[in-house]
Amino acid sequence: MVNEKHLILVWCHPPSDGIGIFIVLKRHLSRLSNNGWDISIIAPDYSFNDIELENSWNIIKLPFRKWWWPPYRKSNKMLLKMRLFCFYLHCRNKLKINKKTCILTSIPSNNILYPLFANFLSYIHKKPLFTFLFDQMELYEKREKNIDQSKNFIIKILNSSKVVWTVSENLKQIYKDDNNEKNIKILYPIPHGGIGQFKSWNDSFSVNPKIIYSGYVYESQVKHLEDVSNALKRVNGTLEIITNITSESLKRLIDLQDNVKHNNYFNSNEDSLNYLYNNASLILVIHPLNLDNEPWLNTSFPSKLIEYSHLGFPIIIISRDDTSLGVWAKENSWKAHLTNKNYKEMEKLFESLTKKTEWEDMSKDSVRLAKSLFNPNNIHNQFQSDIEAAFKN
């Protein structure tokens, strides 16, 4: 390695195309690399299959076990420490630590072991740890005992971090304490940045509007999609759902509603953005009004909203008004927002968006934020400046 500044990512998966934190990590690390940083990636060996990374990056593949390693149990402190030490012995000669090395990890992770290893490396080498916090990972656990254990691990990592980047004030409040309050900052997921131009009004939007929803569909969202399709019938509109069909209720909706179309995921983020730009008239983002089955959505923020703002369409948001997304929509005067208080006005909203003046007015909300709060250059500059500030202290 020839560059002085060096970032080591330790996570359960290398950066990659796709959704959420996978592509966020790739975009930030690619920009750092272009700005002269050395990049190292530590992740499970099996996770690198079919993943293309830059040739200049230092890749360290961790085996999950070797026959002479002691067994691993997350709930057993001694076995956990031994596994972290085994990981360290495996990769210590490949780390290439220097004076300006820092360590990056992320929560959620489908295995807390890797963020804990990031924390271990930070402690051993006295290097600053930086952490992305996108969701309440502990809420994915089904047993109360596991929820408490996961949250304790998360707080341990956050308290050791120089900076924690989270996506909402609500999420910040969940984990805030005297040890980390000053270190937790809001940093929105970095988007691709659109396709180089914003969508303009087309007269077809007034006679055959098409709303596109793209992404995973939770069971609690299916009823909202059905309501959207019914409301669209009043304006001769179509709902297109881009997703993998994972439930019978979603399959039934697609089969029975004649104005609902289905499409599979695209091969790349760029292909998806181009398709939306050329085929949609409106874009839909849904956080269910009932969050009993997906409580983590109460504090999360949809990266797709940031991504799609760069296309220039009006984006219709469905969410409770007291969630992170709902509070954000209110603070940013988002006009196309259906909540638990005005949900019955869906037909009225769709009808208004068949009019050019209304469509263009709501489109301005997307364009305004794409150029400011959701600008990828601004987001990355904050990310990089936060890291570089650690070297100055």
Tokens standing for 22? 């996978």
- The more confidently predicted of residues 288 and 152 is 288
> Crossing angle for the helix pair 144-160 and 113-125, nearest 10 degrees?
30
Q: In the prediction, which pLDDT does 110 show?
A: 65
CB distance 94 to 8 below 8 Å: no
Report, in this order, helix, strand and coil percent for the chain, each rounded to 5. 45, 15, 40
Domains and their CATH numbers in the chain: 5-191+376-392 (3.40.50.2000), 203-370 (3.40.50.2000)
Task: Identify the three-state secondary structure at position 212.
Answer: strand
Q: Per DSSP, which regions of 68-128 are E strands? A: 100-107
- Whole-angstrom distance, CA of residue 63 vs CA of residue 17: 23
Q: Which residues pair with 270 in a beta bridge?
A: none
Residue 136 has pLDDT above 80, yes or no: yes
Percent residues over pLDDT 70 in the chain: 96
CB distance 190 to 383 below 8 Å: yes
Say how many C-beta atoms besides its own lie within 10 A of residue 326's C-beta: 23
DSSP single-letter state for residue 262:
E
What is the identity of the amino acid at 191?
P
pLDDT tens for 37-89 read 999 999 999 999 988 899 999 999 999 999 999 999 988 999 999 999 999 99
DSSP string, 315-364: EEEE--TTSHHHHHHHHTT-SSEE-TTTGGGHHHHHHHTTSHHHHHHHHH
- Whole-angstrom distance, CA of residue 58 vs CA of residue 368: 39
pLDDT tens for 239-249 read 999 999 989 99
- Whole-angstrom distance, CA of residue 259 vs CA of residue 237: 7
Q: What is the pTM of this model?
A: 0.93
Q: In the prediction, which pLDDT does 332 show?
A: 94
Q: In the prediction, which pLDDT does 111 show?
A: 83
Residue 13 has pLDDT above 90, yes or no: yes
Q: Which residues pair with 315 in a beta bridge?
A: 283
